[in-house]
Amino acid sequence: MELNVSDIGEKDIVKYILSKCNTITPDDTAITKIDDNSNLISTTDMLIQSKHFPKNMTYFQMGFKAVTVNVSDLAAMGAKPLGFLLSIAIPDSLNFSNFKEIIDGVLEACEFYEIPLIGGDTNEASEIIINGTALGTNEDSLMKNTYKNNDLIAITGNIGLAALGFYSNDLKYLDNILKPVARIKEGMILKENGATSATDITDGLASELHEMFNGKGMLIYEDKLNISDEFKEIANNMGLNYLDLIFNFGEDFELIFTIPKDKVKDLEEKLDFIIIGEINDSSEINIKLANGKIKKIQKKGYNHFKKEI
């Protein structure tokens, strides 16, 4: 029987590409040495209207987000922005004023992240497709899995807010899903102040912890996740498990990073962050629940193609 890509799933599709190609670094971005002291950092991400843009998202927000998703990967490497390429396809029936709103969103994001729009491509398609490419530089990169035993695990802000923006009717959470902001300055500060690894958690915290796994163990404490009663109540009202939302919804553009204990004090002077756990030698990815029990954190996260069975 011929297999379709839906039988294979995105992770195995990516594995196939990696198996055929030894020139890809499997991290948040590509890393290309350009001289003795610096790397070119490059990343590309495609957003498709029917898959990635909520119905209530404005055209401006679509443009802004197309920059954010790419810049977030630069941030995860501790890179300094260099330039952004915009490849955009739109239906020929789109109002020109709406197209202008998308471009305004792209340009405002480029200004916000201090990453100049340097080129691109325009095309016609049956729906809006925006493929961004973000370019940056760094001296060396914040990889995903270069932490050491006893390093602390931390995040640059609260998680679960995008899930609230998606599930609640409260307007105050809406921007978290409609106009998220990438942590580009935070990434550079982390790199300069002793962080030992980092990645963004847009695919969900559980999925990213598994991506970071290097054979050592990780322990996350529920009590340190800053989960508000309001959050639990909203999840409950929707019939959802609040920890499932925290670990598996994703779309929060925060960075998760590791840092040696003796570097925490210095970093606290430069950055707001929340310590949520630590690296240990258990070889397992666990959570210590509020009730004291320890449970494994399963890998879920978003997977294109693969259908839930």
- The CA radius of gyration of the chain, in Å to the nearest whole number, is 20
Nearest-angstrom CA–CA distance, 139 and 21: 25
Which tokens sit at 47? Answer: 């957003």
Nearest-angstrom CA–CA distance, 69 and 176: 13
Interaction mask 90-129, a second copy, x per CB under 8 A: xxxxxxxx-xx--xx--x--x-----xxxxxxxxxxx--x
Interaction mask 246-285, a second copy, x per CB under 8 A: ----------------------------------------
Q: Check if the beta carbon of residue 94 is closer than 8 Å to that of residue 105.
A: no
In the region spanning residues 175 to 234, those forming contacts with a second copy, defined by CB under 8 A, are none
Cα–Cα nearest to 211, from 126, 275, 297, 278: 297
**Closest approach of Cβ 90 to a second copy, in Å?**
6
User: Residue 83 interacts with a second copy (CB under 8 A)?
Assistant: yes
**Closest approach of Cβ 185 to a second copy, in Å?**
20
One of 57, 58, 137, 145 touching a second copy (CB under 8 A): 137
Which tokens sit at 2? Answer: 């011929």
Nearest-angstrom CA–CA distance, 2 and 137: 43
Which tokens sit at 42? Answer: 């490059």
Contacts with a second copy: how many residues (CB under 8 A)?
A: 70
User: Residue 171 interacts with a second copy (CB under 8 A)?
Assistant: no
Which tokens sit at 85? Answer: 């390429």
Query: Measured in whole angstroms, how far is the alpha carbon of residue 51 from the centre of its chain?
Result: 17
User: Residue 58 interacts with a second copy (CB under 8 A)?
Assistant: no
Q: Which positions touch a second copy (CB under 8 A)?
A: 2-8, 10, 13-14, 16-17, 20-21, 23-25, 29-30, 32, 34-35, 38, 40, 42-46, 48, 51, 82-83, 85-87, 89-97, 99-100, 103-104, 107, 110, 116-126, 129, 131, 133, 135, 137, 304-305, 307
